[in-house]
A = this chain, B = another copy of it.
Amino acid sequence: MTYPEPFCLTASQAQARFKDGSLTVEEYAKSLLARISLRDSVTNAWAYLDPDLVLKRARELDQLRLEERGPLHGVAIGVKDVIYTEDMPTQFNSPLYENNLPKVDAASVMTLRANGALLIGKTTTTEFAATTVGPSYKGPRTSNPHDPTRTPGGSSAGSGAAVGDFQVPIALGTQTIGSTIRPGSFNGIYAMKPTWNSISREGQKLYSLIFDTLGFYARSVNDLKLLLDVFQVQDDGPEGEFNVEGSKFALLRFPTPEWPEAGPGTIAAMKKGAELLKAHGAEVEEISLPDEFRQIYKYQLQVLAGDGRVAFLPDYVVAKDKLDTLLIEHVDNEDKHTRKDQLRAFDELAAMRPKIDALVDKYAAIIAPSVVDEAPVGHENTGNPAFCGPWTAMHTPVVNIPGFKGENGLPIGLSLVASRYRDQHLLRVSKEVGKIFEEQGGWQRQQL
C-alpha cells in the first residue's frame, strides 16, 4: 500500500498514522515544510516560519511515550499573526510591531500546545485583523491558492490560504465581522466560528470585545471536532445522531436594502445546496430574515465604531502615523457616532440574540450565504464581509461548508448556522451536509 504524501492528510488522518506507527511527527512536519517551501512563493501565506523550531518541537513530540501524548498529538496548526506565541513573533501586519516577540502564549495557543499540537508558524493577516486591505498592501502578498491573481479573503488571509493549499491541515483565524468565514469560502475549506466567548480570546489582538471570536480552518469536519473538544466547547444536550433525511433546514434570503446583492455564484450555490438537501430527504424552507432584524448590520458597524475608538487608542497615541486610515478614523470618531447611538446599537443587538436563537432552533440549521460571490480578482481588497456580520453580532456558531463553485471555477461555500452553544450539534449537521456538498456541489479540491 502506498500512502499519499503526508502533507495531504487531514489532522485526524495524520493522527491515525502516528498511532499505527507508520508516520512520525517529524516526518509529517518535514512533508508540510516541503509543501510550504514549494508553494510559498505563490501563496505567501506565512508571516513567520522557522523550520528548525518546527522540527525541534516535532522531535520532542515523537519522544513522548504513548501515555504522555495529548489528544492533539502532532496536530499541525498555523496561527494567525494576531495571536501571541511565546516562541514566534506576533507582528499584526503593523509596522509598529515589526519583530515584536512578547514571551507569552495566547490562551488558545496555551491550550493547543498543552494538548500536544505542533505549531507551524504565523499566518498573514490584514493590519490588526481590522482592515479590509489585504496583506498585500504591507508585507507579503497573500494569494488565493486556487487562483493566485485573486484574494484569499481576510483578515485571516494566510490561515485560509495555507489550509486551502495543503500547507497545514488546521489554522487559527479570528472573526469580528467576516474574517474567518469569508476566507473559508474563498479557499474552499471548512471554517468554523464557534459561539462567542466559548473559547478564551486572551492574547488575541482586540478589536471588539463583543464581536471578536477565535475561528478554525480545516479540510474536514473531524478536524474541527478535535479542536472543539480540547477547548471543551460543550452543548447542553446529549450528543445524538444526525441524518439529513427527515431533517428540516431554513434557506435564508437576506433582505436587500441593508445587505449587498448576492452574486451569481452564491445564488447558484444556495439553489444547488437546497436541491441537494431535498434530494437527500431533507425539508428546506425558504425564509427571509424577519423585519425586526433588518438593522443588525447597521448596529454592528455602529458598535464596532465605538469599539475601534477604544481598541486603537494606545497605538494611535504612540504612533498615529503608522496606523491605517480606517483605524485613525475610528479613534478620531470621524463619523461622529454618539454614545447614545452606540449604546442603542449595543442593546438592540443584545435583545435580538435570544430571538435569533429561537428562530434558528426551529431548524437543524439555517443555510445562509458565506460571501457575496467567489474570491474577487486582486489582493488589496479582501472582499465584502457583510453576509457574515449578522452571525458574528448574534454570537451564533457558524460553519462554512465548501463544495460549490463560481463562474470562474473558484470555490464557494455556504454557511450553516445554529443557535448559541449548539456548536457540537452544528458540527454533526456540518459533517453530513459537508459529505453531500463536497461530493455533489460541483467544486472539487485538487487531488495531490
Chain A residues with a Cβ under 8 A of chain B: 84, 86, 100-104, 107-108, 110-111, 114-115, 197-202, 205-206, 209-210, 231-232, 234-236, 307, 309-311, 313-315, 317-318, 331, 338-340, 342-344, 347, 350-351, 353-354, 357, 420-421
Contacts and interface: CB of A to CB of B under 8 A. Distances in A.
B343 A421 contact: yes
A43 B29 CA distance: 53
Contact of A343 (B111, B199, B339, B357): B357
- Most chain B CB inside 10 Å of its own CB: which residue of A313, A340, A357: A313
A135 to B, nearest CB: 22
Given A101-B103, A114-B318, A420-B339, A311 B235 contact: no
A102 B199 CA distance: 22
Contacts of A309: 232
14 contacts: A100-B104, A101-B103, A110-B314, A110-B317, A197-B307, A197-B310, A202-B205, A231-B313, A236-B339, A343-B357, A344-B354, A347-B354, A350-B351, A350-B353
Given A103-B103, A197-B307, A206-B202, A111 B347 contact: no
A115 B331 CA distance: 16
A353 B347 contact: yes
A386 B200 CA distance: 26
Nearest to A351: B351
Contact of A201 (B209, B331, B343): B209
Contact of A114 (B86, B101, B317): B317
B206 A317 contact: no
Nearest to A197: B209
A205 B236 CA distance: 28
A234 B338 CA distance: 10
Contacts of A343: 354, 357, 420-421
Contacts of A340: 236
